Structure 1
Amino acid sequence: MKTFLTFLSLLLLQSLSSQTKLEQDRQAIKAMCGCYEVQFNFSETFKHAQDSTYTPSPDKIAGGLEWVQLVEDESDKIAMQHLLIVGPEERKQIVKHWRQDWLYQNQHLYVYDANKHWKYQELPYDEVIGQWTQKVYQVDDSPRYEGTASWVHVDGKHYWENTTPAPLPRREFSIRDDYNITLRTNRHELTDFGWVHDQDNKKILKTEDGQEIVLADEKGYNTYTRVEDSKCKAAQDWWTKHSNYWAGVRAEWQSVFENKESLSMLKSIDDKPLFMHMFELQDQEYNSQKIKNQIRAFLK
Structure 2
Amino acid sequence: MRAILIAAALLAGAAPAAAAPAQTASSVTAPASAFEQDRQSILAQAGQYRVHFDMRENVSFNADYDPMEGKLSGGSEIVRVVYDQGDRISLQHILVMEHEGKAIVIKHWRQDWVYQPEAVLAYVGANEWALTPVTADQRAGAWSQTVWQTDDSPRYGGVGRWTYANGMKVWTSEPTWRPLARRDAVLNPVYDRYLGTNRHALTPNGWVHIQDNMKMNGRAGGEPIAIVQEDVINTYDRSTSYSPKAGDDYWAATQEYWAAVRDAWDAAIAVSGRVYVEEEAQTGVVTGPPLMELAQRIQDGEITTEAAIIQGRAIIETATKR
- TM-score normalized by the length of structure 1: 0.87
The reply to whether residue 168 of structure 1 matches residue 189 of structure 2 is: no
State the distance in 2 between where 1:155 and 1:88 align.
42
CA contact (8 A) 2:48 2:244 kept: yes
Partners of 1:248 and 1:42 in 2: how far apart? 33
Q: Is the 8 A contact 1:113 1:181 kept in 2?
A: no
Does residue 297 of the first structure (1) align with residue 318 of the second (2)? yes
Partners of 1:57 and 1:113 in 2: CA distance: 26
**What number of residue pairs does the alignment pair up?**
278
**Distance between the aligned counterparts of 2:147 and 2:266, measured in 1?**
13
C-alpha displacement of 1:220: 1.1
Matched, 1:30 2:43: yes
SS at the partner of 1:92? strand
Residue in 2 that maps onto 1:232: 244
Counterpart of 2:120 in structure 1 is 109
Aligned pairs (5 A) from 1:20-99: 20-51=33-64, 54-88=65-99, 90-99=101-110
- What letter corresponds to residue 70 of structure 1 in structure 2? V
- SS in structure 2 of the partner of residue 110 of structure 1: strand
Paired position in structure 1 for 2:142 = 131
Name whichever of 209-218 and 107-116 sits farther off.
107-116
- Percent identity (aligned): 35
Shift of 1:56: 2.8
Work out the CA distance in 1 between the residues paired with 2:103 and 2:143: 35
Equivalent residue, structure 2, for 1:9 = none
Cα 1:138–1:150 change in 2 (3 A) is same
Alpha carbons of 1:229 and 1:123: their partners in 2 closer, same or farther (altered >3 Å)? farther
Query: What is the CA-CA distance between 1:117 and the residue it aligns to?
Result: 1.3
CA deviations on 1:43-74 (whole Å, 9 max, x unpaired) are: 110011132xx343331100110000110101
Q: 2:121·2:132 contact (CA, 8 Å) conserved in 1?
A: yes
User: Which amino acid in the other structure matches residue 312 of structure 2?
Assistant: I
Structure 2 length-normalised TM: 0.81
Query: How far apart are the structure 2 equivalents of 1:159 and 1:223?
Result: 14
**Is the contact made by 2:215 and 2:228 (CA closer than 8 Å) also made in structure 1?**
yes
Alpha-carbon distance, 1:287 to partner: 4.7
Give 1:251's aligned residue: 263
User: What's the CA shift string for 1:21-54, capped at 9, x where partnerless?
Assistant: 0110000000000100000001110011132xx3
Q: CA RMSD in A?
A: 1.9
Counterpart in the other structure of 2:21? none
Task: Indicate the residue corresponding to 1:151 in structure 2.
Answer: 162
